[in-house]
């Protein structure tokens, strides 16, 4: 069996990641979007809502996280951001592994991980 090639798509804001990902999807290349995964994790009934709500009291609004409120707590506080990343990054990696496993089973020759913070 031929190994699937996994490409990392990364870069800063405005470098064309979204454009490149759209082009790859049009070519029927499977693309996993790490940012979209974080939105799912923090959105309605997201897998990270409970843990983030416990770590940052007041940011859980029902079954989702109030992202602007969370941002106000973490973006100028390195320790808080590190705590949030400790919750989210393992869950994003787990989702990426599930994505890659599914596409390996389908024998996709290539898959892309769109990860802005890869490095």
Q: Which residues pair with 40 in a beta bridge?
A: none
**Residue 28, domain CATH:** 3.40.50.300
Q: Is residue 37 domain-resident?
A: yes
SS3 category, 106 = coil
Q: Is residue 17 domain-resident?
A: yes
Q: Is residue 119 domain-resident?
A: no
Mean pLDDT score, 89-111 = 96
- 39-87 residue pLDDT tens: 999 999 999 999 999 999 999 999 999 999 999 999 999 999 999 999 9
Contact status, residue 116 vs residue 39, Cβ threshold 8 Å: no
Nearest to 59 by CA among 42, 40, 79: 42
Q: Is residue 95 domain-resident?
A: yes
Q: Find the domain containing 76 and state its range.
A: 5-114
Q: How many C-beta atoms lie closer than 10 Å to residue 70's C-beta? A: 20
Prediction pTM value: 0.88
Q: Tell the residue number behind the tokens 């592994």, with chain if given.
A: 97
Helix 67-74 × helix 78-105 angle, to 10°: 130
Q: Is residue 69 domain-resident?
A: yes
* Residue 89 phi, psi (nearest 5): -60, -45
């Amino acid at each position: 069996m031929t190994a699937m090639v996994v490409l990392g798509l990364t870069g800063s804001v405005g470098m064309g990641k979204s454009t490149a990902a759209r082009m790859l999807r049009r070519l029927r290349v499977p693309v996993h979007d790490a940012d979209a995964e974080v939105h799912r994790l923090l959105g309605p009934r997201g897998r990270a809502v409970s843990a983030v709500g416990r770590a940052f009291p007041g940011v859980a609004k029902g079954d989702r996280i109030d992202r602007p409120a969370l941002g106000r707590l973490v973006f100028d506080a390195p320790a808080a951001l590190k705590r949030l990343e400790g919750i989210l990054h393992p869950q994003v990696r787990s989702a990426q592994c599930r994505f890659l496993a599914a596409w390996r089973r389908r024998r996709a020759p290539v898959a892309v991980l769109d990860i802005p913070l890869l490095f």
